[in-house]
Amino acid sequence: MDVEINIEKERLKPKVVIHTNEVTSEINELVKRLTDYNEQLLIGYRNEEVILLNPDEIYRIYSQGQKVVARTLSETVFLKFRLYELEEKLSGSRLIRISNSEIVNLKRIKSLDLSITGTITMKFDNGEKSFVSRRYVERIKQYIGIS
């Protein structure tokens, strides 16, 4: 693979162009890595402090009363987004909606318990658990590839 870098002083953000004769798995992986790298940070709030959250560090995002909460390994912060807005913003990432009130990070899932008919219990690598609502079970199974 050839790599070429052109410096353009007036350019505000980098632009990547791939020239190829066919789309291969290597090209697809490169595109995925580049787009994952550009994932936006989320803004969270703890008291009067603004917290920058990398989506990869988030275990779960859920509604608690009238507030939306993001849970990382080390802290819990409040977000000023609605869940449907976060679902749109995070589409294409490993954060996926599992119920009307929760989004989880599939990178942080340690195991799935399918023993209860019609539902899935997700166990995170930090010991927490979440439950996929019946409405989302088929979508999750298809996404993971166990349908």
- Tens digit of each residue's pLDDT (9 = 90 or more) over 82-141: 999 999 888 878 899 999 999 999 999 999 998 887 789 999 999 999 999 999 999 898
- Can you list the domains of the chain with their CATH numbers? 42-144 (2.40.50.1020)
In this structure, the number of other CB atoms found within 10 A of the CB of residue 37 comes to 7
Residue 102 phi, psi (nearest 5): -155, 145
Whole-structure pTM value: 0.71
- Tens digit of each residue's pLDDT (9 = 90 or more) over 25-65: 888 878 877 766 545 788 999 888 899 998 889 999 999 99
Q: Return d(Cα 102, Cα 80) in angstroms, integer.
A: 15
Looking only at the bridges linking them, the beta strands covering 67-72 and 58-64 are antiparallel
What per-residue confidence (pLDDT) applies to 37? 52
Classify 132 as helix, strand or coil: strand
What per-residue confidence (pLDDT) applies to 72? 93
First vs last Cα of the chain: how many Å apart? 37
